[in-house]
Amino acid sequence: MKLLEPGMVIDGFRVGDCLHAGGMAHIYQVSFADASRREPFPMVMKVPRMTAGDGAENIVGFEVELQILSVLTGTHVPRLVASGDLEKLPYLVMEYVQGRTLQQCLDEADKPVPPAEIAQLGAAVAQAVHSLHLQNVCHLDLKPANVLIRPDGSAVLLDFGLSCHAHYPDLLAEELRPAVGSPTWMSPEQVVGVRGDPRSDLFAIGVILYELATRELPFGNPGTTGGLRQRLWMDPVPPRKWRPDLPEWLQEVILRCLENEAAKRYLSAAHLAFDLSHPEQMQVTDLGRRTHSTGFWAHSKRWLRAAGLHYQPSAMPSRQIDEAPIIMVAVPNHDVSDVTLYSLRAAVARVLGSSPGARLACVTVISPSETPGHNTSSSETTVHRRYLGMLRQWAQPLDMGRQTIAFHILESGDVAKALLRYAEGNQVSIIVMGAATHGLQLQRLLATVPIKVAMEAPCTVILVKQALPFDHLARA
């Protein structure tokens, strides 16, 4: 197929300059040929390569991307405008998103990326991936060139030609070789032909974070099947060996994403985004403190185990997310009765009991007037420490087991808005709050706060009715 020339008109679109010529497709600027029609946003046309030397995956990838983009929604994917007939000229016209790819960020960086910026970029990518998984889509080809960062810091995912949707036939698995993907970022389960596990995308995010942190690739860029299979049993060099100034918590996140076994990685992209957004809440293990590579004998044992390992297809992405929710509980901090605190804790315990993979975020909102000005930061720290102590004391009776817990103090004059903002920014699945969340004296005045949260929350809200403590029940 010849390259399209600027000025050509195809199905009502006028072709502009070629913006990118890749191994699988060319991308052109386009506009409406009819001058009276105004474009709702900048647009591009993606045309797959179909020369004699190109593989069948180019055409299959085009069909997959059309199938998936047509059903995806949200701000983390480009909007689809139109598509061309496969028998005449296959193309996709979609939104042209302003920003820079992570590959451009890597190419243009002349010094190591600061840990805080790595965490910010990683959290943005994880949030975008979480939005895909909620729609039962796994990207399966995440790499720096396919992640675009908008000027506001949010991430947009590109190129869905190797993706799969849990509700549609997987054309790549049916028509092509078992291992499909970019070797550098491919997960161990993809290497052996298992597609559709959302934790494969978390592995790819780990590779991206590793490269951002060290400018090295954790498993190199293998060109053979044997080189690819090494990631089934081998650990990468700990990032802190390349870069000693890297925080232990960041290495903990990266190496957890790069675990050989999918079950040892994060349970969801939301959990990953939470840790990257709140590193102060993380518990660092030996994984984060490690500075030496795994020894020969340990790798030998893993090699023997991997030789007989059979990867099982995973549940749908949305189902896995349901089994590992982030639960937020709004804990009162002023003029609150023991009945309210007891009822709230009992409700949280019930929710945690039904979701073994859940994470709990205990949140309380305080007024800015309670904290002093910027010139007395030590007193401000004392105020926050006091409320953190209160939250920890409230949560102490909860039997968390292996579930993790975090504590956050929010400052805001608008309690409902603060809770909603936290829930949306941290991919919270369930909010637990009570009618007396904001104090007995103010309950009548602020009675609309729980209702406002319930009406505007992006997730499930459980409003807890007060229950009498046991001693009152005995007297009754």
SS3 of 226, please?
helix
Q: What domains are defined for the chain? A: 9-95 (3.30.200.20), 100-315 (1.10.510.10), 325-475 (3.40.50.620)
Sign of the Cα torsion 394, 396, 399, 400 reads positive
Tell me how far CA of residue 81 lies from CA of 64, 176, 205, 265, in angstroms. 16, 28, 29, 36
CA distance 453 to 460: 10
Report phi then psi at 136, rounded to 5.
65, 35
Residue type, 270: A
Residues written for the chain: 476
Beta bridge partners of 9: 14
Q: Is 279 left (phi over 0), alpha (psi -120 to 50) or beta?
A: alpha
DSSP state of 407: E
Tell me how far CA of residue 25 lies from CA of 22, 56, 294, in angstroms. 5, 13, 40
Helix spans in 182-238 (H): 188-191, 199-214, 225-229
Q: Are the C-beta atoms of 104 and 20 separated by less than 8 Å? A: no
pLDDT tens readout for residues 251-305: 999 999 999 989 999 999 999 999 999 999 999 999 999 988 776 666 666 666 6
pLDDT at 170: 82
pLDDT at 411: 92
Task: Please determine, for residue 357, whether its predicted confidence score (pLDDT) is greater than 80.
Answer: yes
Higher pLDDT, 403 or 166: 166
In degrees to the nearest 10, what's the CA dihedral of 314, 68, 20, 43? -150
| Mean pLDDT of the residues in the chain | 87
Tell me how far CA of residue 246 lies from CA of 118, 249, 257, 467, in angstroms. 11, 9, 16, 48
CA distance 159 to 102: 14
pLDDT tens readout for residues 156-190: 999 999 999 999 888 777 655 566 778 999 999 88
Look at 90-104, 133-147, 370-384 and tell me which has the smallest mean pLDDT. Answer: 370-384
